[in-house]
Amino acid sequence: MLFRRSGKHVLVSGEHSPGSEKLRPKRGKLSPKPGGLCRNPGKLRPKRGSRSPGSGNLRRKPGSLCPRRGKHRPKSGNLSLSSGEVSLSSGNVPPAKGKVFELAENNSMTMIKKYLLVTIGFYCTCFFLHAQADDTKRNGGYVWPADTLVKNKLEHWEDQKFGMIIHWGLYSVPGIIESWELCSEPWIERDSSVSYCDFKRWYWGLKKDFNPVKFNPEQWAQAAKDAGMRYLVFTTKHHDGFCMFDTKQTDFKISNGPFASNPKADVAKYVFDAFRQKGFMIGAYFSKPDWHSQDFWWSKYATPDRNVNYDIRKYPWKWNRFKQFTYNQISELMHNYGSIDILWLDGGWVRPLETVNEEVRSWGAAIPPWSQDIDMPHIASMARQAQPGILIVDRTVHGPYENYQTPEQRIPETKLDFPWESCMTLGNNWGYVPGDPLKSSAKIIHALIEVVAKGGSLLLGVGPRPDGTLDSLQVQRLKEIGVWLRTNGQAIYNTRTTEIFQDGETFFTQSKDGKTCYAIVRIPENSKLPSSLTWRGNLPEKGTKIKLINSNISVKWGRYNDKITVYLPVSVTKSKKDYPALTFSLVPERGTGMNVSDNKSACIAVNCKEEQ
Ligand code: GLC
């Protein structure tokens, strides 16, 4: 078959997969062919801006939402214009004059006052907006939810730390990048001997071949559990529009092809059930863009990029139909699939035009002049009515419908003080691509440690095979991760950050009650354990018990000025080969610690210079 994977003809998503955040396909593999569809052969990496969600210094300062306002706001009754000619201070009474003169003066005073009031109003508004914009920059545009049920769920979600995102859809059949080959943007590679139209025809036709007779969601859930994962996000519909749930809005769905007569044809239901049974929080991935829908990509026009391909201003009725379709599909998910904790909405370019900012522009994708406003308030209110407290993650559209932020394939440089999650692939791809090299378990464990110390959660991506099973290599890798988490998990799950969250390869977390501080030291892959480890920051008080938690033994330690050194017993250094990270719990003698709400470490130093 023409498009069957042949390694060099298919596009695989790389370390920076395309989409909401970045536009880069996999490095190296994409050598374009002359005459191919890629209009920009030498330039497969569209420019990325430096500002992407959750990155850098987007920290919220607790309790200081509008810090600059007070500084700039003029005090009433005490405002002098720059020249000092006109001043409006409380004691500034005009001198008595003749009547006419008085009237004229009154009039001109009134005008001056009016002028001043308007000017003051104008400047106040500017200062206010400026302060607001500043705050938005500082907190990454994050808006804290007001609904108590949402707050509680968010807190509960923040305890889980490690989740699985499953990409499974039509693209799994040939084993190519998820949906993106359908899109005609210049960075996308395809077999150049086939026309775009033929390609699309072939892709839509894959529905005839998708018959996952070995569909085994219990195996997926078990693998996730074994990995130590605690929440799930499953692709109910990706950008290609193929539904992995039994929607009534379209026939383009798994429950309509060769799999229709299978008792588990309503795939999403069985995936959710299997994970729910193992105590996972349940998330539904749903793509706002739908490239199969005639109300999104209208075949009357070409489809040059990811956006709606007709002018919504000219055809509002068509866009309204798409909005209704989207609303109905999400409503089905919210009403017919049991309890759902997270509605994870992908395709951040489908958003109101006024929310398009530098961050969105930095993705390098085309931005049409019309608004692709899907009406989130309407969707969210329906979702919350059906699923009280559900977390809504309208990715990259920072604001009230993004209960946590989702940096993709990367970890923010610093700790962020609002809820966030890094989504990352176990291989190079979100979906199943045969032969896709997997990251080592140490690499994933190292990422998890860093993410958690910086206040986030890790959502790890796997892609089941077209027959419905998870590849044994993926299962194996997940097991290895779980082995580490089973003994070290107390420093990960249910923890909160400490003010000092990292020193080199040492990362810190603390228990929610602030009584125990954890130092997790990442050990480089393929290296032996050293006989001692040293770090700066979060130095323990005298009398603190430091335990190596994988062996449950107290270790000797000494404090030298601003550093601490812990000594590993020979029994440990000898027995632990290729150990990804050592975790120490630090419990102060008096066991008091600090309250987490102080957002400081439980083991901030007091003057203790002695060695133990
Ligand atoms: C990006 C990709 C999309 C993928 C998602 C997963 O948005 O474009 O294909 O599903 O990342 O996080």
CA of 291 to the centre of ligand 1 (A): 14
Task: Tell me phi and psi for residue 588, to 5 degrees.
Answer: -60, 150
Other beta carbons within 10 angstroms of residue 279's beta carbon come to: 10
Residue type, 314: K
Distance from the CA of 63 to the center of ligand 1, in angstroms?
34
Q: Residue 427 CA to chain centroid, in angstroms?
A: 18
Q: What are the structure tokens assigned to 451, written together?
A: 């993410």
**Comparison of pLDDT for 224 and 62, the residue scoring more:** 224
Cα separation, 231 vs 56, in Å, equals 26
113: its two tokens:
């006052």
Q: What atom in ligand 1 is closest to the CA of residue 18? A: 8
Across 85-137, where does the E strand assignment appear?
A: 87-89
Q: Of the ranges 121-135, 463-477, 480-494, which one carries the lowest mean pLDDT score?
A: 121-135
DSSP code at position 181? G
3-state secondary structure 77-140: CEEECCCCCCEEECCCCCCCCCHHHHHHHHHHHHHHHHHHHHHHHHHHHHHHHHHHHHHHHHCC
pLDDT-based confidence at residue 91 (cuts at 50, 70, 90): very low
> Is the CB of 419 inside a 6 Å radius of any atom of ligand 1?
no
Q: Which of 408, 458, 462 to mutate to test the pocket of ligand 1 (most atoms within 8 A of CB)?
A: 408
The answer to whether the CB of 423 is under 6 A from ligand 1 is: yes
Atom 8 (ligand 1) nearest CA: 19
| Tens digit of each residue's pLDDT (9 = 90 or more) over 367-376 | 999 999 999 9
Q: Where are the domains of the chain?
A: 2-136, 149-488, 495-586
Distance 20 CA to ligand 1 centre (A): 7
CA 249 to centroid of ligand 1, rounded, Å: 23
DSSP 8-state assignment for residue 118 = H
User: Is pTM, for the whole model, over 0.85?
Assistant: no
- Is 17 near ligand 1, meaning CB less than 6 Å away? yes
CB atoms within 10 A of CB 110: 10
- What percent of the chain clears pLDDT 70, i.e. is strictly above it? 74
Of 3.40.30.10, 3.90.1200.10, 3.50.50.60, 3.20.20.80, which CATH number belongs to 149-488?
3.20.20.80
Q: Any idea which of 217-226, 300-309, 471-480, 586-595 has the lowest mean pLDDT?
A: 586-595
Q: How far apart are CA 560 and CA 265, in angstroms?
A: 63
Kindly give the distance from the C-alpha atom of residue 213 to the centroid of ligand 1, in angstroms, as a whole number.
26
- Cβ neighbors of 382 (< 8 A, separation 6 or more) are 327, 330, 331, 334
The total of other beta-carbon atoms located within 10 Å of residue 369's CB is: 8
In sequence order, the 6+-apart residues with CB closer than 8 A to the CB of 303 are 183, 184, 291, 297, 309
CA distance linking residue 427 with residue 460, whole number of Å = 10
Residue 350 C-alpha to ligand 1 middle, in angstroms? Answer: 14
pLDDT of residue 140: 80
Q: Which fold has domain 495-586?
A: Immunoglobulin-like (2.60.40)
* Nearest C-alpha neighbor of 343 from the set 242, 235, 420, 425: 235
Cβ(408) – ligand 1 distance below 6 Å? yes
3-class DSSP assignment, residue 180:
helix
Paired tokens of 84: 């000092």
Residue 607, pLDDT score: 29
Question: Cα–Cα distance between 89 and 440 in angstroms, integer?
Answer: 70
pLDDT at 316 over 60: yes
Tens-place pLDDT, residues 236-266: 999 999 999 999 999 999 999 999 999 999 9
d(C-alpha 337, C-alpha 272), whole Å: 8
pLDDT interval class at 364 (50, 70, 90): very high
Count H helices, E strands: the chain?
12, 19
The atom of ligand 1 lying closest to the CA of 348 is 7
Closest atom of ligand 1 relative to the 20 alpha carbon: 7
What pLDDT does 593 receive?
Answer: 42
Phi, psi of 447 (to 5 degrees): -65, -45
- Alpha-carbon distance of 135 to 143, in angstroms, equals 11
Average confidence score pLDDT of the chain: 81
pLDDT single digits (tens) 54-79: 222 222 222 222 222 222 322 222 22
Does the pLDDT at position 578 exceed 50? yes
- Mean pLDDT across 189-211: 97
Residue 465 has pLDDT above 50, yes or no: yes
Residues in the chain, total: 612
Which residue matches tokens 């801006």? Answer: 49
Centre of ligand 1 to C-alpha 178, Å, is 8
- Contact 430 CB / ligand 1 (< 6 Å): yes
Going from the Cα of 348 to the center of ligand 1, the distance in angstroms, rounded, reads 10
Q: Which long-range contacts (CB under 8 A, 24 or more apart) does 530-534 make?
A: 530/568, 530/573, 531/567, 531/568, 531/570, 531/573, 532/565, 532/566, 532/567, 532/568, 533/506, 533/565, 533/566, 533/568, 533/582, 534/563, 534/564, 534/565, 534/566
Distance CA 350, CA 382 (A): 19
Read off the pLDDT of each residue in 183-197 and give the average, rounded to a whole number. 95
* Contact by Cβ (8 Å): 390, 151: no
pLDDT at 589: 80
Mean pLDDT across 516-531: 96
Whole-angstrom Cα distance, residue 366 to residue 39? 15
The rounded distance, in Å, linking the Cα atoms of 212 and 466 is 6
Whose CA is closest to 582, among 415, 442, 457? Answer: 442
Cβ neighbours around 18 below 10 Å, total: 27
Q: Is 20 in the pocket of ligand 1 (CB under 6 A)?
A: yes
Amino acid at 268: A
Cα 101 to averaged position of ligand 1 atoms, centre (Å): 74
By most ligand atoms within 8 Å of CB, the mutation choice from 187, 346, 351, 460 for ligand 1 is: 346
- Please write the tens of the pLDDT for every residue from 600-609: 443 443 322 3
For residues 11 and 189, is the Cβ–Cβ distance under 8 A?
Answer: yes
Give the 3-state secondary structure of 493-557. Answer: CCEECCCCCEECCEEEEEECCCCCEEEEEECCCCCCCCCEEEEECCCCCCCCEEEECCCCEECEE
Task: Give me the phi and psi of 283, to 5 degrees please.
Answer: -125, 140
Residue with the smallest CA separation from ligand 1 atom 2 is: 19
Contact in structure between 404 and 157 (CB atoms under 8 Å):
yes
For ligand 1, atom 3, the nearest C-alpha belongs to 19
Q: Quick one: which atom of ligand 1 is closest to the CA of 179?
A: 9
Beta-strand relationship, 231-237 and 281-287: parallel
> Could you tell me the distance, in angstroms and rounded to a whole number, from the CA of residue 435 to the centre of ligand 1?
20
Report the atom number in ligand 1 closest to the C-alpha of 347: 7
Across 120-129, 320-329, 454-463, least confident range? 120-129
The finding on whether 185 has its CB within 6 A of some atom of ligand 1 is: no
Ligand 1 centroid to 346 CA: how many Å?
A: 7
pLDDT band at 575; cut points 50, 70, 90: confident
Whether 346 is in the pocket of ligand 1, judged by its Cβ within 6 Å, is yes
Decide if 230 contacts 157 (C-beta within 8 A).
Answer: no
Q: Is 191 in the pocket of ligand 1 (CB under 6 A)?
A: no
- For the chain, the C-alpha Rg in angstroms (whole number) is 29
Nearest CA to ligand 1 atom 7: 19
Give the pLDDT confidence score for residue 591 in this predicted structure. 53
Q: Given ligand 1 and candidates 11, 12, 15, 17, which is best to mutate, with the most ligand atoms within 8 Å of its CB?
A: 17
| Phi and psi based region of residue 254 (left: phi greater than 0; alpha: psi -120 to 50; beta: remaining) | alpha
Q: Which single residue is written with the structure tokens 């190296």?
A: 28
| Assigned token pair, 357 | 């900012």
pLDDT value of residue 232: 99
Predicted pLDDT of residue 603 = 44
Strand 420-425 vs strand 456-462: parallel, antiparallel, or unpaired?
Answer: parallel
Q: What angle do CA 436, 441, 445 make, to 5 degrees?
A: 125
Mean pLDDT of 382-387: 98
pLDDT of residue 493 exceeding 60, the answer is yes
Minimum mean pLDDT among 102-116, 152-166, 469-483: which range? Answer: 102-116
